[in-house]
Amino acid sequence: TTHFEGMPGRNCTQATEFSLAGFTEDPATQVTLFLLFLLIYLVTILGNLGMITLIRASALLHSPMYYFLGSLAFVNLCTSTIITPRMLVGVLLGKKGISYAGCMAQIFTFGLLVVTECFLLAAMAYDRYVAICHPLLYPLVMSPERCSRLVTGSYLLGLTNGVGQTIGMSSLFFCSSSAIDLFFCDISMLISLSSSDTTLSLIILRTSSSLLGVPSLLVVLVSYVAIISTILSISSAEGKRKALSTCASHLAAVSTFYGPLIFMYLIPRSDTSRGGDKWAAVLYTVVTPMLNPWIYCLRNREVKEAWRRLRKIK
């Protein structure tokens, strides 16, 4: 067992596991939450696997937008899988403990996936910008090679974030009584729990947010400023409606992803006013991965048509 000087005047034993807070201690509510989260997870698997399969199987969906969407569905599937099953075990069996190694694994994979999703959403916004603002150049600009590079770059940037966050966390010490008031290992909460110098971890967290999170969001915002400007210049109402309909699904996906993240990490507030963090985290780790494929299925005519053709073949 490792002992070290943590906070002034206190000896501290290095934690070998952390305790994850549940949602409630009421047994009836726990059963309800378990069934709700299990249903959400099953729908997430069905929706994202279905979207990936449909995009691969249908020639109608072999275009840059659906190439990005297939990658987004895979990331959503992975995000939900690293968070939800562990949470279900905690809700049903009351097992709140997670090993130090398991926590670091969550930090790495979640750090990788969340930044990858940021850049995939940015690539999709850029795709919509080129399609609406420069339609004649679209086949040249959004070539298969460039789309492949954009997706590969998204994963590499995500990997850089995951490795950086893990290195920053590995230098921290935690007392054996450390309890995380969330259902997964969230890096900002872990930093606040550490009893050692958190300077390096905070620098890595803020640098990654500044160099990775903010630019990806700016790409989305700038793309849509240009898109809206172009749509407003279209004379016919039907033309405006068609242009808007191609962006509606992506805008919904961006809103459900970035909204809770901004609430969690960018809005300053005191520790006593963080009561909504748990449910904001549920939105972007559990609910958003479920919603994305259904948003595109329900609002996109091409997806519906591809599904109809696939059913006729069968």
Among all chains, which residue has been given the structure tokens 């915002």? 221
Quote the pLDDT of residue 6: 44
| pTM of the complete model beyond 0.85 | yes
What architecture is the 17-308 domain classified under in CATH? Up-down Bundle (1.20)
Residue extents of the structural domains in the chain:
17-308
Token duo for residue 12: 């501290």
Q: pLDDT by residue (tens digit) across 162-185?
A: 998 888 888 888 876 677 878 888
Whole-angstrom distance, CA of residue 48 vs CA of residue 260: 21
Quote the pLDDT of residue 8: 42
For all residues of the chain together, what is the average pLDDT? 82
**CA distance readout (Å), 301 to 60, 237, 245:** 11, 19, 10
**CA distance readout (Å), 230 to 131, 151, 205, 250:** 11, 26, 37, 17
Which residues of the chain have a pLDDT value below 70? Answer: 1-14, 22, 176-177, 264-276, 298-300, 311, 313-314
